[in-house]
Amino acid sequence: MADESNATLNEIATLLRRQVEQTDERTKTADAQAARQREELAKLESQRLKISRVLALLLVTASLAAIQHYSDSRSLSTLATLTPMEVVEQQRKVHLHSYGTTFVSLLILGGLYYAIIDGVAYCIRRFFMPKS
């Protein structure tokens, strides 16, 4: 009878080991699936970020180009009414600045441009590209 109870206990132990192994395999499979899902979500978020930045870049650049075109048209119409000496004097005033002034101006404007692009990209992601 002791042999039968030992055999039964061994069978139970074997069954428990198999269940533990199966549970471990299921856990590993679930972990792998979760990792794949996280990777896919990260890729989608990265794509959303890139798309929104490109759209923002196009929108802001098109707006600035339109403003520049309007400004150039206005400047040309103003230049048409000036005498040659007034044109030379105006150009001298426009181009009278140092390298440092240009550097600082471009640094500030570049940072502002980058901030505007990031802000518009955020708004595009937030309002026009809902998360999946």
Structure tokens at 66: 């339109």
CA 78, CA 70: separation in Å to the nearest integer?
A: 12
**pLDDT (0 to 100) of residue 95:** 78
Per-residue pLDDT of the chain (132 residues; tens, 9 = 90+): 667 777 787 888 888 888 888 888 888 888 889 889 999 988 988 898 899 999 999 999 999 899 988 888 888 888 888 888 988 888 888 778 788 888 998 999 999 999 999 999 999 988 888 776
Distance of CA 96 to the CA centre of its chain: 39
**Predicted structure pTM score:** 0.61
Count CA atoms within 13 Å of residue 7 on its CB side: 4
**pLDDT (0 to 100) of residue 132:** 62
**pLDDT (0 to 100) of residue 39:** 92
**pLDDT (0 to 100) of residue 2:** 66
Torsion of CA 53, 56, 62, 65, to 10 degrees: -80
Structure tokens at 61: 């650049």
